[in-house]
Amino acid sequence: MLFDAEVSPALLRGEVAASMKKKMYAVEISYDLDDGIVCAKCSCPRGLAVCHHMAALCIHAHHNISVTDKTCLWSKRKPAETEQVTKISDIYKPKYSGFKAAQRSATESEIVTLIQSIDHQGKVEETCRLDFQLCLECLGLFFR
């Protein structure tokens, strides 16, 4: 017997012996905690309708489901947790509202000179070379 409560509706599977023969019938029952039995199947000739094999599995499960009958949970993957992105400005609030790291804002010509000096030393990234205007805007925002 196997009981899987991780799916909705819960699934109960088992094999029930036939009354007079040495035959086993596979029984599968879907059970909803609110609505009760949703669907049931049995491999016996009467298996698509209600049969006593289904009733026998339900009664047996009601009295005998143990931890070993449930599906193993340690191999089940946990759903990925979505982390919320937090801005650094939200974590570290400035102590002073009008604080500036420099005495004055950099001028456009100083920013251009800085970018060109970095470019001549070969330490600027390829993306910066491709979009010089974007680099100017980034550094302009940084130094102001």
Yes or no: say if 1 and 60 are a contact pair by the CB < 8 Å rule. Answer: yes
In a domain, 84, yes or no: no
Q: What percent of the chain has pLDDT over 90?
A: 4
Q: How confident is the model at residue 142 (pLDDT cuts 50, 70, 90)?
A: low
74 found inside a domain: no
Do both 17 and 64 map to the same domain? yes
Residues 107, 64, single domain; the answer is no
Task: Confirm if 31 and 41 have CB atoms less than 8 A apart.
Answer: no
How many domains is the chain built from?
2
pLDDT, tens only, 68-102: 656 666 666 777 777 888 888 788 877 777 767 67
Is residue 124's pLDDT more than 70? no
DSSP string, 81-131: PPPPP--HHHHS--SSTT--SSSSPPPHHHHHHHHHHHHHHT-S-HHHHH-
Place of tokens 């100017």: 136
The residues near 78 (Cβ < 8 Å, ≥ 6 apart) are none
Based on the fold, state whether residues 9 and 54 are members of the same structural domain: yes
What is the model's pTM?
A: 0.45
pLDDT of res. 122: 56
